[in-house]
Chain A
Amino acid sequence: MHELKIAEELSAMVSYHAAEAGLRVVERVNISVGQFVQVVPDLLEAAFRIAAMDSVASAARLEIEIIAAEMRCRRCGTGYSPDDDLHACMACGSLDIDVVHGKELFIKSIEGE
């Protein structure tokens, strides 16, 4: 249940940026979560409800965009999306792989007034 800790961090960050932007109410929080980040979206949403309860984002909707994994082989240069979590290059089988996308965990934007 590390979603609660992530939700607490998210809520603190949303409050901070809302104050900086002069927002009284936050209506929507847009975040991106990579496929390799082990977060359960429903749990994160429920946890955010609790974490943001007494904040400017108490009624905000949390929009979670899942970013699909994308790899690039350092040996043959092939780019591909893996069908599971094991990463060998789908073209040449090399294990020398860059994770281009899939490890993201960030706030894209905050909407409110």
Chain B
Amino acid sequence: MKDILDRNQNKAEEVRTLLREKKVMMVNIISSPGAGKTTLLERTCEALADKTRIGVIEGDVATDRDARRLQKYNIPIVCINTGGGCHLDSHSISKVLGHFALDNLDLLFVENVGNLICPSQFDLGETFKLAVVSTAEGDDKPAKYPMLFTGARAVILNKTDLIPYTNFNVAAFESDIVSLNPGITIIKTSATGGEGTDRWIGWLTSQLESFRAG
């Protein structure tokens, strides 16, 4: 019996070993299109760019619009256009790692292609997966797309400022997530307005510290 995604898994382990040696924590961010991944990265760069050396791999079906939004922070950014492909895989990550000076990096974000299904199937060699869900998508997403939430270390519930205008039930959302993954961390933010992003930054910083110590 042979695992069909063996080649992806082996390359992912290679990437993981390399990044561990270089002490670079890689965060694979997965969400639907428009959940707020890029805005969250903007807030993160604003909060951390002067004390943490950040790099970003932007996965997009087409265009470099997300990459352009992050250029103002003067950080290394590599854009992978999948040309219609619905996810990144470990080979595409491995190929672009050479564009980064890994010795001068602490934190590498991968902004995966906006999609809740396909990206959750492919290990990229990340330290952990981060799921981002926006309130406008509805509170049933964890139950409908369980694979992402069982595999993620944390989930950001973004656009909390919109809750009054939706039928989003925070308690149902949280209880579904916890039943899928009891150890997961849930952080509520409104990345555009900035509310809650301090909790995200605090959590991220603690993850980085324990990664470096570990």
Say whether A108 faces chain B, with CB atoms less than 8 Å apart: yes
Contact A85 B146 (CB under 8 A): yes
Give min CB distance, B144 to chain A, whole Å. Answer: 8
Contact check, A96 vs B182: say whether CB atoms are below 8 A apart: yes
Residues of A86-105 contacting chain B, CB below 8 A: 86-88, 95-96, 105
Report which of B7, B122, B146, B178 forms a contact with A36, defined as CB distance below 8 A. Answer: B146
B75 adjacent to chain A (CB < 8 Å) = no
Contact partner, A106, options B3, B120, B143, Cβ 8 Å: B3
Interface size on A, residues (CB 8 A): 25
Of the four ranges (under 10, 10 to 19, 20 to 34, 35 or more), the interface on chain B belongs to 20 to 34
Binding site for A on B (CB under 8 A): 1-8, 85-87, 89, 117-118, 120-122, 143, 145-147, 150, 176, 178-180, 182
CB-based closest 6 A-B pairs: A2-B118, A85-B146, A95-B182, A107-B2, A106-B1, A86-B179
Query: CB-CB < 8 A to A38: which residues of B?
Result: 117, 120-121, 145, 147
Give B86's nearest chain A residue, CB to CB. A1
Q: Quick one: which of B4, B118, B145, B150 contacts A9, CB cutoff 8 A?
A: B4
**Which chain A residues lie closer than 8 Å to B150 at the CB level?**
36
B179: A residues at CB distance < 8 A: 86-88, 95
CA distance A100 to B3 in the complex (A): 16
Say yes or no: B147 contacts A36, CB within 8 Å.
Answer: yes
How many angstroms between the C-alpha atoms of A29 and B143 in the bound complex? 32
Whether B178 and A95, one on each chain, are in contact in the complex, defined by CB atoms closer than 8 angstroms, is yes
Contact across chains for A86 and B143 when beta carbons are under 8 A apart: yes
Q: Is A5 an interface residue, CB under 8 A from the partner?
A: yes
CB B11 to nearest CB in A, in angstroms, measures 11
The reply to whether B182 and A13 form a contact with Cβ atoms under 8 Å apart is: no
Q: How far is the CA of A8 from the CA of B2 in the complex (A)?
A: 15
Q: Which of B5, B143, B182 contacts A6 (CB 8 A)?
A: B5
| Extra pairs beyond A2-B118, A17-B2 (20, CB < 8 Å) | A1-B86, A6-B4, A6-B121, A9-B5, A9-B6, A9-B8, A12-B7, A36-B150, A38-B117, A38-B147, A84-B143, A85-B143, A86-B143, A86-B176, A86-B180, A87-B180, A88-B179, A95-B182, A105-B4, A106-B4
